[in-house]
Amino acid sequence: MQYRTLGRTGIQVSPYALGTLMFATSIGNADPTDSARVLHKALDAGINFVDTADAYGDSEEIVGKALEGRRDDVVLATKFGRPTGQDPNHQGASRRWIVTAVEHSLRRLRTDHIDLYQLHRPDPATPVDETLAALTDLLHSGKVRAIGASGTPAAGIVEAQWAAARHGLTAFHTEQPVYSLLNRGIERELLPATQHYGMGTLVWGPLGQGLLTGRPHDQLRRAGLVRHLEDENRLAAAGKFAALAAEAGLPPTHLAMAFTIAHPGVTSALLGARTMAHLDDLLAGVDVTLSDDLLDRIDEIVPPGTDIGVLDQTFQPPALRRPDLRRRPLGDRAAA
């Protein structure tokens, strides 16, 4: 395993990281013991980067228990910010919630520190300097070793860097965006921004939410992964990538994973393995590298900087969700 430096932190991480959303018993694998075996197999294979979140059901508890005796071998990342209950203050990026959420995560993870603590989604209701001030204090306390964010637009990354410099705070060390053969939009502005600021980038969704696994199209439709016209467009592109992978003598999953970690701005890509079989398949491709010719062929199917469809899980700015934020009041509009 060839390790990479996580931004400017000096922390060495594997190019494949283990995402643990599927460890949650209510979402993925119903057997915590089996999830622990998957985690140990990943560690034995050289993966040292494990990512979870407080909003992933009981994933933090399962990860914490599984890491007993091996905690020092792992760069452990978790996230805060998404709702964890009905209380409106049990979410977001306010100082009040951050100092509470971190204690909950430390307890569930059975550890005295978190290596990378990340804001799960931007919180437009909270000034970024308040968020960074609370996270900087956690860094000084030793409870957190590095800080990051997820789903941040490029403009938000720049704003956070400026706020940190202006107020004498620690800036985000990392960003976690979606990136795959089907979703390359971050190549346009976000990756240039993270590279400019020396940030590490941990990408999620490298298998296109299952569309890039090579599964038959009818299976993907039955699984509910194809529901709209844009999903059909994604499916068509995925079929072209499957054909390209076969021509290159690669499983589609290996093509997809190798593509994500080939970009110089990407530090690690998250494996969302639910079972040992899933993990074994992905680990078999850890040393795959793609030729320039193959990368050119990929560019012909989905051009650089292009997304095919928008994922439900990605952050949407408030003005895209609320009509009142993009329409002047009737009395203020010019006469038609």
Taking 70 as the threshold, does the pLDDT of residue 336 lie above it? no
CB distance 46 to 213 below 8 Å = no
CB distance 134 to 98 below 8 Å = yes
Question: Residue 217: what pLDDT?
Answer: 77
Question: Residue 333: what pLDDT?
Answer: 62
CB distance 182 to 208 below 8 Å = yes
- Counting Cα atoms < 13 Å in the Cβ hemisphere of 160 gives 33
Question: Residue 232: what pLDDT?
Answer: 85
- In single-letter form, the type of residue at position 326 comes to R
Residue 169 — very low, low, confident or very high, per pLDDT cuts 50/70/90? Answer: very high
Question: Residue 312: what pLDDT?
Answer: 65
Pairing of strands 12-13, 4-5: antiparallel
- Could you give the CA distance from residue 142 to residue 302 in angstroms, rounded to a whole number? 43
What would the pLDDT profile of 174-222 be if each residue is shown by its tens digit?
A: 999 999 999 999 999 999 999 999 999 999 999 998 999 988 878 877 7
Taking 70 as the threshold, does the pLDDT of residue 314 lie above it? yes
**Close Cβ partners of 190 (under 8 Å, ≥ 6 residues apart):** 152, 153, 154, 157, 175, 177
Taking 80 as the threshold, does the pLDDT of residue 81 lie above it? yes
Question: Residue 317: what pLDDT?
Answer: 78
Taking 70 as the threshold, does the pLDDT of residue 124 lie above it? yes
Give Cα 125 to chain centroid, integer Å.
Answer: 22
Among 56, 117, 179, 197, the one annotated catalytic: 56
Query: Where is average pLDDT lowest: 118-132, 264-278, 305-319?
Result: 305-319
- Could you give the CA distance from residue 243 to residue 301 in angstroms, rounded to a whole number? 11
Mean pLDDT of 238-244: 96
Does residue 320 or residue 145 have the better pLDDT? 145
What is the model's pTM?
0.93
Question: Residue 39: what pLDDT?
Answer: 97
Is 56 assigned a catalytic role?
yes
Task: Quote the percentage of the chain above a pLDDT of 90.
Answer: 82
Question: Over the chain, what is the mean pLDDT?
Answer: 93
Mean pLDDT of 2-14: 97
Question: Residue 224: what pLDDT?
Answer: 74
Mean pLDDT of 313-333: 76
- Identify the structural domains of the chain with CATH numbers, from first to last: 10-332 (3.20.20.100)
Residue 229 — very low, low, confident or very high, per pLDDT cuts 50/70/90? Answer: low
Can you tell me whether residue 200 is helix, strand or coil?
strand
Question: Residue 289: what pLDDT?
Answer: 95
